[in-house]
Structure 1
Amino acid sequence: MFITVRFGEKEEALFNPNCRTLLLLENIKQRCNCAEDVDVDLSDNEGNVKHLWEAPLRYANEVLKERETLVLVRVEKNEGSQKPHYIPLLNDIQAIDAAFLARLSTKEHSGSGSAKGSRRKHGKKDASNKSSRPGVKSTTPTGRKGSKR
């Protein structure tokens, strides 16, 4: 699995998202020649930010699609506002148009939070359904306990 990150003067680089988002973003910053003190994230070609920097221990391949092409964006956190400001780090007037910038600046974070929550709940549910007692079946997909045969 790989993703393509677009940055700079119409440059592209391939990355493996089968790692924690913290490691992926650090590798992207290094290979895309970003300063160490800059916070970065990724957005799709429509300007939808992926919010990878908010969950540094989550695996990036849970959020990103295989062979997805993404745009590198800088995250600027404003002191007076809860919502960060995103600046594309790609110089391509065909890709970074007014519609992209409008979507990038107005995109709310609430949509990605629900996906994170649903994945966590699902993971906890699966972990709690496993029984450590031998001879006892785990729950069925409907949540009912299976009987011993």
Structure 2
Amino acid sequence: MFIYIKHGDNNQFLVNTNCPTVVLMECIKTRLGLAESELIDLCDERGVLKFLFLPQNSQESARGLLKVKESFIVCIIKRSSDGAYNSVTSLLSGVDPAIIETLQTQIDNLEKTRLKQLHIVETRMATSEEINAQALSTKTTKKRKKVTHANAPDEEVQRHTGDRKSRN
């Protein structure tokens, strides 16, 4: 099956969706003369992004993610060097400002989600490091206790020995 890709000054072309999403995106980049490193996505005519660039969608069939015979607008997603999602730009001229606002809101929400996930990972790593430090501390303490107990007389032995010493 196919979809319509809109770009430029009301230009459009057809693409086959019977392929992995990553192949579809490469085809669109080639057709539009975009660099391979460019991060692009498609949105419907209401401005709803399809998030085809996300890793979980890259190998999935585009046919399952995109409605056949529907029109989509190509958008460029801008990210900073630290991976933050900054902005989105439509490659279709004359897009309604409400659609641009909808696109930016989605990118802002995506960035918030990315930051939450990053915070969760950092918290887990910190917790894991604390647990490892505590475990290491406990092992060291146990070893010390064992050494201390091994060198110190057993209470039971001391009681009996103390009794004998007092008799002598």
State TM-score, norm by structure 1: 0.66
Q: Which residue does 2:52 correspond to in 1? A: 52
Aligned residue number for residue 106 of structure 1: 105
- The whole-number CA distance in structure 2 between the counterparts of 1:17 and 1:47 is 20
The alpha-carbon deviation at position 76 of structure 1 amounts to 0.9
Contact 1:22 1:57 in 2 (8 A): yes
Structure-1 separation of matches of 2:97 and 2:63: 29
Change over 3 Å in CA distance of 1:81–1:38 after alignment to 2: closer
Q: 1:140 aligns to what?
A: none
- Identity, in percent, stands at 30
After superposition, the CA RMSD in angstroms is 1.8
State the partner residue of 1:86.
Answer: 88
Which residue number in structure 2 is paired with residue 2 of structure 1?
Answer: 2
Q: In structure 1, what is the Cα distance between the partners aligned to 2:69 and 2:86? A: 27
| AA partner of residue 48 (structure 1) | V
The correspondence for 2:65, drawn from 50, 63, 66, is 63
Residue of structure 2 equivalent to 1:36 = 36
Q: SS of 2:53's equivalent?
A: helix
**Partners of 1:37 and 1:81 in 2: how far apart?**
14
The higher radius of gyration belongs to 2
Cα deviation, residue 98, structure 1 = 1.2
* Cα distance between partner residues in 1 of 2:104 and 2:9: 22
Q: CA separation in 1, counterparts of 2:69 and 2:34?
A: 23
Distance 1:35 1:7 in 2: 16
Tell me by how many angstroms 1:37 deviates.
2.3
Q: Is the 8 A contact 1:78 1:85 kept in 2?
A: no
Give the TM-score taking structure 2 as reference length.
0.59
- Determine helix, strand or coil for the equivalent of 2:25: helix
1:112 corresponds to: none
1-structure distance, mates of 2:35, 2:82? 24
